[in-house]
A and B are shown apart, each in its own frame.
Chain A
Amino acid sequence: MGRARGSRLERWFSSLARRPPIDSAGVARLGRRYIYILPTRPGLLLGAVFLLMLLGSLNYQNNLALLFTFLMGSVAIVGMLHTWLNLLDLRVLVRGGPPVFFGQDGVFCITLEDDRSRVRGDLVARMGKRETTPVHLQRDATRSVSIAVATTHRGWLVADQVRIETRYPLGLFRAWSYPPSNARIRVYPRPAERSPVPIPVPAMKSSEQGDMGRGADDFVGPRSYRAGDSLRHLDWKALARERGLVVKQFGGDRAAQVWIDWDRLPALETELRLSLLCRQVLDAAGQGLRYGLMLPGILVPMGQGEIHKHRCLESLASFGNG
């Protein structure tokens, strides 16, 4: 309950809220002016109970009842100060995790560090509707928690509105702060289920018999089934993955080298094209081909390997908006 109350009101408040500054390393220290605190629902209930008991014991002129009433009230007040202290001077560093494809969850890593030699309990990091399980922090200790956030679009997943909150020690008050961060996660386009096969380009030296285009030796890439294709070349595994009828193409003497080209795709909507290209990049990388990427205004030269793949995917991720 309570905690997952990401509402319009909350967003409005957080846009007004003061945020602590971050240093060059991206670490925010939750100073005293950046911590907000309000009673939780049990806290409000305690307030009501307190008032009732106060009225009752005053009316009955019962001093011991009054004493206990004050004890409950005072413990709540002192607890409130502890709730606030539980966040005070906590150092928070938000870092983005590895790139993800659109549709997957981006994982942010939030490092909490005690800087006051205090034991801190029940620290929860929250982003939107996702929250971490409570973390207990020992004196001067550092702990990292990760929080998975759903991607909303291709490009960057930005860690805005990170909220660190706590209800320590009694759950009667909730204190929170919005540490800013410049953490972000690359979001690659969502790879299409299948895509047209990119055009293979001839290698430096071509075969003497001429390019037959097709052969049976080297696997070149998949292609949609056309009537007349040999059943032997059907990609059964792809069929099992519900990617439809796909035929494995085998190149004969042509070198395994392709250009993945924006212009070779039908004039579809941008995102759709990007997701097709993404599939092509992944397929090409999966087949161990040498490939290059051509986008309007961007050219990633031929290459191979993990780094090259991510360079291509990054170009796709940042296409159109840097």
Chain B
Amino acid sequence: MAKVVPQAERPRPSQVASMTLLLGLAWLPLISDIAPRVSVFTGFLLALRLASLRWLVLLPGRWLMLPLTVAGMVAVLSDYKTFVGRDAGAALLATMLVLKLLEMHRVRDLRVGTLLFGFLLVSQFLFDQSPLRALYLALLLVLDFALMADLTARVGEGRRALISALRIAGRLCLQALPLVLVLFVLFPRLSSPLWSLSQQRDRGQTGMSDWMEPGSLDRLVLSPEPAFRARFDGPVPPQDKLYWRGPVIWHTDGRRWTGWPAGLPLGVAERLVDTSEQVAYQVELEPTGKPWLFVLDMPVRVPDGARILGDFQVKDSTAVSDNRAYRAVSALSYETGGLDLDQESVGTQLPENITERMRSLVAGWQREVGSREELVHRALAFFREEPFHYTLFPPKLGANPADEFLFVTRRGFCEHYAGSFALLMRIAGIPTRIVLGYMGGEHNPLGDYLIVRQSDAHAWVEVWLRGRGWIRVDPTAAVAPERIERSDLFEVLAAGAPLRFRLEDVGTLRRWVHDLDLLGDAITTGWRDWVVGLSRTRQQQMLETLGLGHLRAYGLALALIVAAGAVLGIFLAVLTRRTGSRDPLERIYTGFCKRLARIGLPRRPGEGPLDFAQRVTAARPDLRVPVESFMAVYLPQRYGAYPRPAGRRELERKLRRFRPRRR
């Protein structure tokens, strides 16, 4: 050890051990999130620290710290190739914090550790936002506060110190809760990030691809990153018209859907036959690394350099590698023209794994209905009436996803619905294609634009009907009608929650389990709705219910200040309120008199303690001993020149034992 640290500034071994333990506990869930080499390194350091509490020699000296630090950085670098970005940043933070642990020679170092510990906790939410993880980390945070309390005002030793610190931390957290709630609900959120720390190589991944298979949209629909922003020249169209068209896919091998077959000519789109409800808008697209542009159904005019292909997908001349702003005009109400032979044959192409039950399902419908249009409605009714669930976390599907989804799992989101619906239509011989894109968008009142996020990613179906052209069918909407009305990702989840099992004829236990399941689902949904998914939109809705909607973000800030002030004001008022008399002696005497008043011997106004005591003992000779012994301590304590410090405690003891009863 290089320098001798004064005894008073040296942390206790138990405090260092607590810090080590806390870091270890915070590191445990990170193992699955950060790269293995970093985990192993930090785990080794933690073990070393724990061991050095017992064998001090093991503690690396100052000269060893530098190589260790370098080793930590190399471990991070070898796994992530960088120090910036979410993952590498969190890994580096964890490594450095654990390294710092080896250097905690002073109380001051430990204090810094307890503060930086907060970083480590918060950074974990970038990986996982589940309620369980939150609960666990909240517990660690409380323990961290307890350690801070222990470092500041240690009371006693061992268990007593632990309990005292825990009590302080627990009380502080409970008292802070109202303020946390106010801040959390009312603190204005950003509608888009200020900067993006995601690495360059991540950029291409966030965009939408031109193929689809079960699970391909997973990472998109869970990402709140914006895909693009749109400003309309006029009013924003209703949500159920906001279908942002991206790549169109035609061909399927039974699992994967891909674009227009390479060898065939697709040509340029024909002119739309009917184009009304035209809207003009500007789109600011985030980099996608792909050539297509997103436009509303159906594009009429596109920017220079871009083409509308035969299936109405819009392709730019080059891939969008930087932010790209463009203007476009779309017709919300339209009629496409006829169908060429290529489109008809590719649009009815079927994979080899169509099963018999799929065919018989469609055949059944065909017997029921007369026209192809009715058949489409019949198929939608199937999704509506059968117990299909909309969930972002569907069960894994095997080799024949459409069949499994339709008849077995029945849980999925847009890609499952679009894919299976398209197959059913093709079985019936209706030309069908799938459109990938985004649906809806969140209106940002501050900048008056629509923000469309990756989580708004969607897939829907277009069927070609004679006389009407290609029309849009959204089978997902048949399952969750709310999907059309609102765009919030987590409300979609709420719509997927109800389970439509008949529960009357199952046993109590099953029903109980099912109720628990429902409860868990409700908690998860509520969690996503109100904790993880509390957004700008929802804050605005709350303001509107309060009648403050017109104030926008200013209203939020105002409400925040008022509410936080009120919470702190009430808190202070409660804590500084005087309970009874300010003088403890006076309080004891008041308690003494109250007990006598309860048995019918109230002190008269202006009656001194001596007179009062005499009157009491005259009326109740049986109380002579306790009353006189009380007065024997009270009088010198109150009026004597030298009150004893112990006197008050003695009086309190006497008061506690003094329980006069009526006769």
- Check if A and B associate: yes
Residue of B nearest to A56 (CB): B122
Q: Does B183 contact A (CB under 8 A)?
A: yes
- In the complex, chain A residues whose CB is within 8 Å of the CB of B184: 63, 66-67, 70
Check A136 against B119 for contact (C-beta < 8 Å).
no
A222 to B115, CA, bound (A): 67
Q: Which residues of A contact B118 (CB under 8 A)?
A: 49, 53, 68-69, 72
The contact string, 1 if C-beta is below 8 Å from chain B, for chain A 66-88, is: 11111111110111011001001
**Pairwise interchain contact A68-B531, C-beta atoms closer than 8 A:** no
Binds A, one of B96-104, B190-198, B235-243, B333-341: B190-198
* Cβ contacts A31-59/B at 8 Å (1 or 0 each): 01000000000100110010011011111
User: Are the CB atoms of B134 and A49 closer together than 8 Å?
Assistant: no
Q: Nearest Cβ distance between residue B238 and chain A, in whole angstroms?
A: 26
In the complex the two chains form, what is the Cα distance from A69 to B119 in whole Å? 9
Q: Is B257 an interface residue (CB 8 A)?
A: no
- Nearest residue in B to A53 (C-beta to C-beta)? B122
Which of A166-174, A236-244, A271-279, A282-290 interfaces with chain B?
A: A166-174
Instruction: Tell which of A53, A65, A117, A136 touches B153, judged by Cβ atoms closer than 8 Å.
Output: A136
A213 within 8 A of B: no
CB distance from B126 to the nearest CB of A (A): 6
Q: Which of A59, A71, A168, A171 contacts B190 (CB 8 A)?
A: A59
Partner of A72, one of B141, B155, B197, B532: B141
The complex places the Cα of A169 from the Cα of B582 at a distance, in Å, of 24
B residues in contact with A12, CB < 8 Å? none
How far, in whole Å, are A168 and B154 apart by their CA atoms in the complex? 10
* Complex-state Cα separation, A172 to B169, whole angstroms: 13
Cβ–Cβ contact B121 & A78, under 8 A? no
A70 touches B187 (CB 8 A): yes
A53-B119, A63-B534, A171-B148 given as contacts; is B193 within 8 A of A81 (CB)?
A: no
Contact A68 B121 (CB under 8 A): yes
CB of A167 to closest CB in B, whole Å: 5
Within 8 Å CB of A71, what residues of B?
138, 141, 173, 176, 180
Q: Is A105 an interface residue (CB 8 A)?
A: no
Q: How far is the CA of A63 from the CA of B609 in the complex (A)?
A: 62
What is the 8 Å Cβ interface bit string for chain B, positions 155-195, against chain A (1 contact, 0 not)?
A: 10000000000001000110111011001100101100111
Q: Is the CB of A75 within 8 A of B173?
A: yes
Contacts of B645 in A (CB 8 A): 142
Contact across chains for A61 and B152 when beta carbons are under 8 A apart:
no
A13 interfacial by beta-carbon distance below 8 Å: no
* Chain A residues within 8 Å of B189, by CB: 58, 61
Asked if A64 contacts B582 (CB within 8 A), the reply is no
Chain B CB within 8 A of A193 CB:
no
Q: In whole angstroms, what is the CA distance A10 to B533 when docked?
A: 49
Taking CB atoms, residues of chain B closer than 8 Å to A67 are 134, 180, 184, 531
Q: Is the CB of A115 within 8 A of B179?
A: no
Interface residue? A103 (CB, 8 A): no
CB-CB under 8 A from B593, the residues of chain A are none
Q: Are A167 and B575 in contact (CB under 8 A)?
A: no
Is A62 among interface residues, defined by CB-CB distance under 8 A? Answer: yes
Instruction: Name the B residues within 8 Å of A169 (CB-CB).
Output: 149, 152-153, 168, 172
- Interface residue A211 (Cβ < 8 Å from any Cβ of B): no
Dominant SS among interface residues on chain B: helix
**Cα(A85)–Cα(B572), bound, Å:** 9
Bound state CA distance, A65 and B531, in angstroms? Answer: 10
When distances are taken between beta carbons in the complex, the residues of chain B under 8 Å from A81 are 568, 571-572, 575
Task: Give CA–CA (A59, B153) in the complex, Å.
Answer: 36
B173 touches A64 (CB 8 A): no
The reply to whether A64 and B532 contact each other, CB–CB distance below 8 Å, is yes
- CB-nearest residue of chain A to B118: A72
Central interface residue in A57, A60, A88, by most chain B CB within 10 Å: A60
A60 and B193 alpha carbons, distance in the complex (Å): 6
Size range of the interface on A? 35 or more
- Is B579 in the interface zone, CB < 8 Å from A? yes
Q: How far is the CB of A201 from chain B (nearest CB, A)?
A: 43
- Quick check: A168 and B112 within 8 Å, CB to CB? no
The digit string for A140-171, where 1 denotes a CB below 8 A from any CB of B, is 10100000000000000000000000011111
> Does the CB pair B172–A61 fall under 8 Å?
no
B153–A78 CB distance below 8 A = no
Tell me, rounded to whole Å, the shortest Cβ–Cβ distance linking B286 to chain A.
15
B320 proximal to A (CB < 8 A): no
Question: Please, how many angstroms separate the alpha-carbon atoms of A75 and B576 in the complex?
Answer: 18
Q: Which of B116, B125, B194, B578 contacts A49 (CB 8 A)?
A: B116
**Interface flag for B294 (CB, 8 Å):** no
A70 touching B534 by the CB < 8 A rule? no
Q: Across the interface, which residues of A come within 8 angstroms of B179, CB to CB?
A: 70, 74, 77-78
Q: Taking the complex as formed, is A314 at the interface, i.e. its CB lies under 8 A from any CB of chain B?
A: no
Task: Kindly list chain B residues whose C-beta atoms are within 8 Å of the C-beta of A64.
Answer: 125, 129, 134, 531-532
In the complex the two chains form, what is the Cα distance from A67 to B186 in whole Å?
A: 12
Let me know if B445 is at the binding interface, CB within 8 A: no
A49 touches B115 (CB 8 A): yes
Across-interface contacts of B145 in A (CB, < 8 A): 75, 170
B655 on interface, CB distance cutoff 8 Å = no
Judge whether B111 is part of the interface by a CB distance below 8 angstroms: yes
Instruction: Give chain B residues whose Cβ lies under 8 Å from the Cβ of A121.
Output: 152-153, 155
Give the distance to chain B from A85, nearest Cβ to Cβ, in Å. 6
Query: Roughly how many angstroms separate A32 CA and B179 CA in the complex, as a whole number?
Result: 23
Chain B residues with CB below 8 A from A172, complex form: 148
B111-146 at interface with A (beta carbon < 8 Å): 111-112, 115-116, 118-119, 121-123, 125-126, 129, 134, 137-138, 141, 145
Tell me whether B151 is interfacial, beta carbon within 8 Å: yes
> Cβ of B648 < 8 Å from any Cβ of A?
yes
Known A-B contacts A64-B125, A169-B153; A59 and B180 likewise in contact (beta carbons under 8 Å)? no
Q: Does A301 contact B (CB under 8 A)?
A: no
- Chain B residues positioned under 8 Å from A117 (CB to CB): 579, 584
Determine the distance from Cα of A171 to Cα of B113 in the docked complex, in whole angstroms: 13
A64 vs B141: C-alpha distance when bound (angstroms) = 13
Q: In the bound complex, how far is the Cα of B194 from the Cα of A55, in angstroms?
A: 9
Cβ-based interface call for A261 (8 A): no
Q: How far does the alpha carbon of A116 sit from the alpha carbon of B180 in the complex, in Å?
A: 28
Q: Within the complex, what minimum Cβ distance (angstroms) separates B593 from chain A? A: 19
Cα(A61)–Cα(B536), bound, Å: 10
Known: A64-B125, A64-B532, A169-B149. A46 touches B172 (CB 8 A): no
In the complex, A82 Cα to B582 Cα: how many Å?
19
- A116 to B: closest C-beta gap in Å: 8
A168 lies within 8 A of B152 (CB): yes
Q: Is A61 a contact partner of B168 (Cβ separation < 8 A)?
A: no
**Which of B193, B195, B584 contacts A115 (CB under 8 A)?**
B584
* Distance of B108 from chain A, by nearest CB (Å): 7
Chain B residues 539-593 with CB under 8 Å of chain A are 568, 571-572, 575-576, 578-579, 582-584
Whether A98 sits at the interface, judged by CB under 8 Å, is: no
Within 78-124 of A, Cβ neighbours of B (below 8 Å) are at 78-79, 81-82, 85, 88-89, 115-117, 121-122
Tell me the chain B residues, 352-396 only, with Cβ under 8 Å from chain A.
none
- Shortest Cβ distance from residue A135 to the other chain B in the assembled complex, whole angstroms: 10
Cα separation A152 to B568 with both chains bound (whole Å): 46
* Interface residues in B225-261 (C-beta closer than 8 Å to A): none
Q: How many whole Å from B47's CB to the nearest CB in chain A?
A: 27
Asked whether any CB of chain B lies closer than 8 Å to the CB of A1, the reply is yes
- Cross-chain contact B194 with A45 (CB below 8 angstroms): no
Closest to B577 in A: A116
Q: A56-B122, A59-B193 are in contact. Are A122 and B172 (CB under 8 A)?
A: no
The contact of A75 among B116, B176, B197, B224, by CB within 8 Å, is B176
Q: Which of B116, B172, B578 has the most CB of A within 10 A?
A: B172
* Nearest chain A residue, comparing its CB with the CB of B151: A171
What are 10 A-B interface contacts by the 8 Å CB criterion? A61-B190, A63-B534, A64-B531, A71-B176, A81-B568, A81-B572, A115-B582, A116-B578, A117-B579, A169-B168
Name A's B-contacting residues (CB within 8 A).
1, 32, 42, 45-46, 49, 52-53, 55-75, 77-79, 81-82, 85, 88-89, 115-117, 121-122, 134, 136, 140, 142, 167-172
Q: Please give me the 7 A-B residue pairs with the lowest Cβ-Cβ distance, nearest first.
A: A121-B153, A171-B152, A122-B153, A74-B176, A74-B179, A64-B125, A70-B183
